[in-house]
Amino acid sequence: MPASEATKEKLKQAKATRGSVPKELLEKMRESNRIQKAILDTLPKFELVGSGGIEAKTIPQIASATQISEHEIFWHVNALRKYNKIHDVKKSGDYFTYAKK
C-alpha cells in the first residue's frame, strides 16, 4: 500500500530524528523474508493435502528441501503459524506436518 502524505511526513520526521535505518537491520529483514518465502514455496496448500499424493511436510523435510537449518525453519514455521499463513496438519512419526493456508 503506498504511504499516505501524513505517513510520509511522519517518516521524514523520524528519519531526521533517528537517522537512516541501519543496513544490518534491512539485511536481517531480507534474510527473514527469504527464509519465509522458501518455506511457503516448499509447503503444499492445505486444501490439496491428501489429493494426488500431495503430503504436508515435517520440519526436517522442509529443512532438507530449503537447505536451511531445522532450528531456523522451526522458528519461522511457528512465526508463520502465529500469523495465520501456515496450518499444522497431523502427526507423522515423531513430527507434526505443516501446510500453507
96 binds other proteins (CB under 8 A): yes
Cell of 84: 495465520
Angle at 54 between CA 50 and CA 56, to 5 degrees: 80
Draw the binding track, 11-40, toward other proteins (x: CB under 8 A; -: no contact).
Answer: x-xxx-xx--x---xx--x--xx--x----
Scan residues 66-95 and list those touching other proteins (CB under 8 A): 70-71, 74-79, 81-83, 88, 91, 94-95
Bridge partners for 45 per DSSP: 100
CB of 44 to other proteins, least distance (A): 18
Euclidean distance between CA atoms 99 and 83, whole angstroms = 14
